[in-house]
Amino acid sequence: MREQVIINDVGPRDGLQNQGQVLSVTERLQLIKAIRASGLDHIEVGSFVSPKAVPAMAGTGSVFAGLAQVGAGHYSTLIPNMRGYELARDAGVKTVVMVLYGSEGMARKNVNMSREQADEVTEAILLQAQGDGIAVIATIGVAFGCPFDGPVDPGLVADVAGKFLGLGANRFVLADTIAAANPLQVRELTQRLVTEHGASRLGCHFHDTRAMGLANVFAAIESGIRYFDASIAGLGGCPFATGAGGNVATEDVVMMLEQMGFITGINLDALMVASDLAQQLTGTAPGGRSKAWLKPWLARQSAACAD
């Protein structure tokens, strides 16, 4: 029996936020609509952060309001604090994404808090959200390595995972924010977490900056992980290495999973349309690295079907 894997497209949030071009609300909705049209139904549509700090995410409330025209789906938004949570809740968001940290350095740099303070903020919001009937995805940034503090202790990550899964977080996602992970490390940490908590509430988020994106996805698949963040057209650069790739591209991940016999429920032809649009709208999205192969291959497949 073919197993299912969930792909959560973070392009409209993580992707757009990490590149220069600021898209209009209409353009952001256009992109989300194209992604959703491929069958991909888990999408991170934006974040409720200060528009001053992150201009690309201004107007996320309007994007959320516009989702009615896109159709049903599992839409989430990122929130950095209680204020963001309240804005998201008032906008009708049903799933919020919170960020925890694998290192002191990144917590300080990103939200000017200690790691423990960030934990406390997330815990308070988690309790509030449970009362409000809103789902919480807890993502731990720099889960494998930090640009400021170096390698991250897997024991610490396992402790944070245990704590938030214990508190009832709907999902706990290991994010390799700066592409520090190698597949051996991924296999070891994911194996440990799957053994301790089962795989159903776990997920992974990889970047392809060092060309190991798909190797890391495969390593996590081997451990039983069945939920992955990915970004349409690889949207989102790497702030720590100019010219280097950012998020692992949705089309690359979907292609590999489908080739390995997993079900993603995503149509690759339609995903190419969304990927082209992401490249067109931003001018910065590199496009999945398999795209040069994928497009002619898909064309041949449909030609064969038409015969």
Say whether residue 152 binds a second copy (CB under 8 A): no
Site for a second copy in 174-193 (CB under 8 A): 179, 182-185, 187
- Residue 196: CB atoms within 10 Å: 12
Rule CB under 8 A: is residue 284 a binding residue for a second copy?
no
Using rule CB under 8 A, residue 210 touches a second copy: yes
Burial class (CB in 10 A: 0-12, 13-18, 19+), 22: middle
231 scored as a contact of a second copy (CB under 8 A)? no
Nearer to a second copy, 110 or 182 (CB): 182
Instruction: Map tokens 């959320």 to a residue.
Output: 64
For a second copy, the closer CB: 148 or 297: 297
Q: Tell which one of 14, 245, 247, 277 touches a second copy (CB under 8 A).
A: 245
**What is the rounded distance in angstroms from the CA atom of residue 141 to the CA atom of residue 161?**
12
Q: Tell whether residue 19 is a contact of a second copy (CB under 8 A).
A: no
User: Nearer to a second copy by C-beta: 160 or 230?
Assistant: 230
Least separation in angstroms between CB 244 and a second copy = 4
Regarding 127 and contact with a second copy (CB under 8 A), the answer is no
Reported in sequence order, the residue ranges of 162-303 that DSSP labels E, i.e. its strands, are 171-175, 202-205, 227-230
Helix axes 115-132, 154-166, angle to 10 degrees: 20
Residues in region 52-81 near a second copy by CB under 8 A: none
Q: Which of 219, 169, 149, 162 is nearest to 191 (CA)?
A: 219
Residue with smaller CB distance to a second copy, 262 or 273: 262
From the list 258, 254, 257, the residue with the least C-alpha distance to 291 is 254
Beta strands in 102-245 (DSSP E): 135-141, 145-146, 150-151, 171-175, 202-205, 227-230
Catalytic-residue membership of 204 = no
Residue from 35, 174, 255, 268 in contact with a second copy (CB under 8 A): 255
The number of beta carbons lying within 10 Å of the beta carbon of residue 79 is: 27
Q: Which of 238, 254, 277, 285 binds a second copy (CB under 8 A)?
A: 238
> Does residue number 212 form part of the binding site for a second copy (CB under 8 A)?
yes
Query: Which strand (E) or helix (H) includes residue 99?
Result: strand 95-101
Contact status: 130 vs a second copy (CB under 8 A): no
Q: Which helix (H) or strand (E) holds 42?
A: strand 42-47
Q: How many whole angstroms separate alpha carbon 153 and alpha carbon 156?
A: 5
From the CB of 174, what's the least distance to a second copy, in Å? 17
- Total binding residues toward a second copy, as defined by CB under 8 A: 39
Nearer to a second copy, 118 or 217 (CB): 217
Q: Does 259 bind a second copy (CB under 8 A)?
A: yes
Q: Taking CB under 8 A as the rule, does residue 243 contact a second copy?
A: yes
Distance from C-alpha of 276 to C-alpha of 191, rounded to nearest angstrom: 36
Which residues are at the interface with a second copy (CB under 8 A)? 179, 182-185, 187, 208-215, 217-219, 222, 238, 241-245, 249, 252, 255-256, 259-261, 288-290, 292-294, 296-297
- Give catalytic residue positions: 238
